Amino acid sequence: MNPLLSCLCMKRGCKRLGYEDPIVLASETPFTVNEVEALHDLFKKLSSSITDDGLIHKEEFQLALFRNSSKQNLFADRVFDLFDVKRNGVIEFGEFVRSLGVFHPRAPEADKIAFLFRLYDLRQTGYIERAELKEMVLALLRESDLELSDDAVESIIDKTMMEADTKGDGKIDREEWKEFVAKNPSIIKTMTLPYLKDITLAFPSFVMNSNVRD
């Protein structure tokens, strides 16, 4: 930061780049003001793990949330892209809080379903096509260190498409996705992180998995 700008910031008490008012963020998310402030402490730790510039870079994001900053993984990349709302290659504090808000236990189910749809819609066409579904399934298996035979993977894809693609046009639209999730609610288990309710008490590892029971 420019020394003069830094001096002005100190005099005015301004926050670092990308910072947003906790009161505003609390009004737009399921978090309370205290929880947003706790998230800011967490954000500062994550954003300074590699590059201390007040922003979370992809490497820092993968290291913190997925415990792996080197392994290429489509799932990790997609989650980062969805958190990076401004599409500028970094995650600012406001983006971090708003995106995490979707995973809060009190977040509307509709928001969770929509986020997951966007996660699978790799080409951002408004549809989930068979090839995209396969790419994400393989990425999730790699992230979980699970190995399935090609036949088993194809069977999962075929079964999903058969059940979800009710229009039979080879792709899943938003309405079909909502109906599919309604019939298979376990699909969005990973969209709820119970410990976000206790964020003011501790900072557990932010790994993208869920302890929600059926």
What number is the average pLDDT over the span 87-114? Answer: 95
Is there a domain that residue 9 lies in?
Answer: no
Establish if 145 belongs to a structural domain: yes
DSSP bridge pairs for 56:
91
Phi and psi of 73, rounded to 5°? -145, 120
The last residue of one of the domains, among 87, 107, 127, is 107
- The pLDDT value given to residue 89: 94
Please state the domain count of the chain: 2
Domain presence at residue 200: no
Within this chain, do residues 27 and 103 fall inside the same structural domain, yes or no?
yes
Q: What is the pLDDT of residue 5?
A: 34
Same domain, 135 and 182: yes
Is the domain of 101 the same as that of 171? no
Residues 139, 176, single domain; the answer is: yes
Higher pLDDT, 206 or 118: 118
Task: Tell me, yes or no, whether 140 and 91 share the same domain.
Answer: no
In a domain, 165, yes or no: yes
Distance CA 151, CA 91 (A): 38
pLDDT in the model for residue 62: 80
CATH number at residue 83: 1.10.238.10
* pLDDT tens digits for range 33-80: 989 988 998 899 889 988 888 999 998 888 776 655 445 577 788 899
Asked if residue 157 belongs to a domain, the reply is yes
Question: Does 74 fall in a domain?
Answer: yes
Share of the chain above pLDDT 70, in %: 80
Residue ranges making up the domain that contains 103: 17-107
pLDDT value for 208: 44
In a domain, 58, yes or no: yes
Q: Are residues 145 and 170 in the same domain?
A: yes
**Predicted pLDDT of residue 181:** 96
What confidence score (pLDDT) does residue 195 get? 79
DSSP 13-31: T---TT---HHHHHHHSS-
CA atoms within 13 Å, Cβ hemisphere of 62: 16
For the residues 106-130, what does the mean pLDDT come to? 96
**pLDDT confidence bin for 214, thresholds 50/70/90:** very low
* Collapsed DSSP state (helix, strand, coil) of residue 56: strand
**Quick one: pLDDT at residue 207?**
42
Residues 135 and 114 in one domain: yes
Q: Pick 183 or 207 by higher pLDDT.
A: 183
Let me know whether 21 and 103 are in one domain.
Answer: yes
pLDDT tens by residue, 9-29 = 433 344 555 678 999 999 999
- Residues 118 and 103 placed together within one structural domain of the fold: no
- One-letter amino acid at 42 equals L
Q: Are residues 127 and 97 in the same domain?
A: no
* Mean pLDDT value of segment 150-164: 95
| Same domain as 101, residue 27 | yes
**Residue 193 forms part of a structural domain:** no
Residue type, 24: V
